[in-house]
Amino acid sequence: MTIVLKNYNNLILNINQKYDSKKINVIAVSKTFSLDYIKPLIDIGHIHFGENKVQEALDKWTEIKKKNNKIKLHMVGRLQRNKVKKSLQLFDYIHSLDNIKLADTIAKEEEKLNRKLKYFIQVNVGAEEQKSGVSLSNASEFVYHCVEKLKLDVIGLMALPPQSSDPTKYFKIVSDLNNKLKFKDLSLGMSADYIEAIKYNSTFIRVGSIIFGNRS
């Protein structure tokens, strides 16, 4: 679809006006969108795509990934422990590692499948009861458990700032913590605030509606 490519090119142009888009990994969050929307991006060589439901991702991406091994699929939604095995067979990145039981389950399945993924630890930066994620005060301890004890390939933090607040305050908090933990990658920013997230060193932005349009 030409509108998808137009939106995508505008996004890249907007990033390049202030930053080097080659250093920013744009995750095209394609949840709920059919292959008709996704194929134009695959055809021009875009490789990072995001989904938030395991079964939808399996239905949509299994055959595509068999044909195109360059594609990197990101799980950007909450991951349930009973979906870990299927997730590890399909996804390349998990952005929602948020508790010890999930981490332990992942480590066991990685060993069974002999497959290593890359992980972002989700931080509940706004201390919101309705959101998952480790607390800021427990983040260092959780990182130690995942990296040192379980040998998971954790590459950075991920966070979702409170919707009703200025995100920059929270981006700074997470970015500072990410640096303190000596991670090089950071998963911050969505369609409405990706430029602000890049200012605070985000290397992976998760954008959907700005590329594909509003979801029905």
Helix, strand or coil, per DSSP, at residue 122: strand
| DSSP structural state of residue 80 | -
| DSSP structural state of residue 134 | B
What is the C-alpha separation between 10 and 5, in angstroms, rounded? 8
Please provide the CATH number assigned to the domain covering 2-15+25-212: 3.20.20.10
CA distances from 32 to 92, 143, 170, 192, 215 (A): 19, 32, 28, 19, 7
Kindly give the confidence (pLDDT) of every residue in the chain, 216 residues in length, as a single tens digit, with 9 standing for 90 and above: 689 999 999 999 999 998 988 899 999 999 999 999 999 999 999 999 999 999 999 999 999 999 999 999 999 999 999 999 999 999 999 999 999 999 999 999 999 999 999 999 999 998 888 888 999 999 999 999 999 999 999 999 999 999 888 999 999 999 999 999 999 999 999 999 999 999 999 999 999 999 998 876
Amino acid residing at 156: G
CB-based burial label for 186 (10 Å; 0-12, 13-18, 19+):
buried
